[in-house]
Structure 1
Amino acid sequence: MLQLRAIKSNEHYEMDTTILEQTIKDDVNNGLIPFFCCATLGTTATCGFDKLKDIGPICDKYNIWLHVDAAYAGSSFICPEYRYLMDGIEYATSFVFNPHKWLLINFDCSIVWYREVNWVKNSFHVDPPYLKHKHQQTTIDFRETLDLGFVLLGNRQQSVPVILSELVLPGGFDLASPSFTIRDITTELS
């Protein structure tokens, strides 16, 4: 049975890494296998930013999957002036953010990145017999278009607005930059 551990945060709303490591050690000593840690960059309620450069080495030391949830703040990392907030991101095993919160994308669109996409690809691969047909080699298989190998059948493909925004808007996603104005778009379009 899985057990969840809530790690206390410090006065700056950052995960307390001393408590994190001690909790991991205690769990190992009690015969448990810690395997997942979720850090946040821009916690929704407090705007707390966990220090990935401190959490990452602990997760590496104990072979723990480090997931980074950037919720609303992830959109700001498109701007170079905010990327310092991602210090230590190289330790992340997975990363997710919600472009619908700042990037003018419809609601319910999230973007996830995996260090090793095959872990997910192999877990969610869809290749049932009812999708096979005699013209398979002569048509485009949109399930393979982005080389992910899977599409969630029956669901809307929320990535389409993100791709279209990048293709259609001049300058792509620089909308979140402090130097961006709507006038910039209208000038370039005219």
Structure 2
Amino acid sequence: MDESYNSLAGGRKGGKPSLAVTGAKLGEMRVDTSRGQAVVPAWLFTVEGYDSPLKQAAAVPSKLPRQPIKRARNVPGYPLDRLVQIAADGRSVTVVTLQSVCDSSRNVHAWETPDSVVLLAEVTGKRHDGVCTKQGKLRQVTVKLDRPIRDRILLDAITGGPVAFKPLHGPSPSWS
């Protein structure tokens, strides 16, 4: 709890924190993960002047396991920026990709296996004959799947790692 409180107090040791915490108890909170929402243990801090408790995840993230696929080599493209949505039926995912402003493609290809879905953002080249600057643009792309994602892991072909879930607008996953 001390570590969570120090984080809440802005890492200050001694000195007066900017929030007056009047109590704390262990509870639960929901967090977004790369596989949907999960319920994790949380410290529920009672803060002076607030009606509801401030929640901070009490779970320490574990070390990531070895990546299930190797990083792609000699494949044009950029890593996926994030997963922003899984359709209610699980048959499509919306990801954000980084692409050149001169790239005309908005395609993301999916290779499906029983255990994973590997995504690769296509890079096709210039959309005009002029000089292309080194600018990137984030684009949302929805990818239709052959079958629902369910408990399959979503992987980025460029990095070989899981695609992180980060809603476009929302709180940090460790706070609620």
The question of a shared fold, defined as TM-score above 0.5 by the shorter chain, is answered with no
Between structures 1 and 2, the one with greater helix share: 1
Point out which structure has higher relative CO (alpha carbons under 8 A, 6+ apart): 2
Between structures 1 and 2, the one with greater strand share: 2
Q: Could you tell me the TM-score, scaled by structure 1's length?
A: 0.22
Q: Could you tell me the TM-score, scaled by structure 2's length?
A: 0.23
